[in-house]
Structure 1
Amino acid sequence: MTPQPQPSWRKPAGIFLIMLLIIVWAVLVASLSSWVGDWPVLVQALFYLIAGIAWIWILPLKPLLRWMELGRWRG
């Protein structure tokens, strides 16, 4: 039988960091809602689309997920 690999501490730590990042970002965006609420509806939709996809999922999470899987920040 082949030995089983030891579980890495990076995955639970990464999950915790992802949850923390989502909470902090949600609070930040919600705190801007009174300011963004004065904008036209289509501009608001564009803002929330960019804030929700680009800044949370693409920029900070890509290196974090890479670190969780490979143990390094850059590819």
Structure 2
Amino acid sequence: MKSEQEREQLIKDINVLLNQAYDSTLDEIYAFLKKIEDEEDEEDLKAYEQAKKSAEIDGSMSWEEAKKELETERKKEVA
């Protein structure tokens, strides 16, 4: 995981390159990032379904706990 300063610098560097890119390249980058986001959403949904199924079996996790856990995992992936 990158520090906040490293992350900010990386975003600045990416923005420089994006501003220099051709429109077709921007379209490709957007499509790639969208695909990554969709895959992450799918993984989150699978994790949620697994947690829900586990909770139904052993009654160990409430719906609110599952939502909090899912949100925490998503935040970790973004960081």
TM-score by length of 2: 0.51
Cα deviation 1:9-65 (Å, max 9, x = unaligned) = 222101111001111221122023122231264xx41232221x2212x22235xxx
Aligned equivalents of 1:30, 1:45: Cα separation in 2:
14
- What's 1:55 paired with? 73
Aligned equivalents of 1:40, 1:12: Cα separation in 2:
36
Q: 2:52 matched to 1:33?
A: yes
Q: 2:18 matched to 1:6?
A: no
Unaligned runs of 5+ in 1: 63-75
Stretches of 4+ moved more than 6 A in 1? Answer: none
TM-score by length of 1: 0.53
How many residue pairs end up in the alignment?
55
Amino acid aligned to 1:61: V
Unaligned runs of 5+ in 2: 1-20
Cα–Cα, structure 1 residues 34 and 18, in superposed 2: closer, same or farther, change >3 Å? Answer: same
Aligned equivalents of 1:6, 1:48: Cα separation in 2:
40
SS in 1 for 2:22: coil
- The higher-RCO structure (CA 8 Å, 6+ apart) is 1
- Equivalent pairs: percent with the same residue? 0
Higher helix proportion: 2
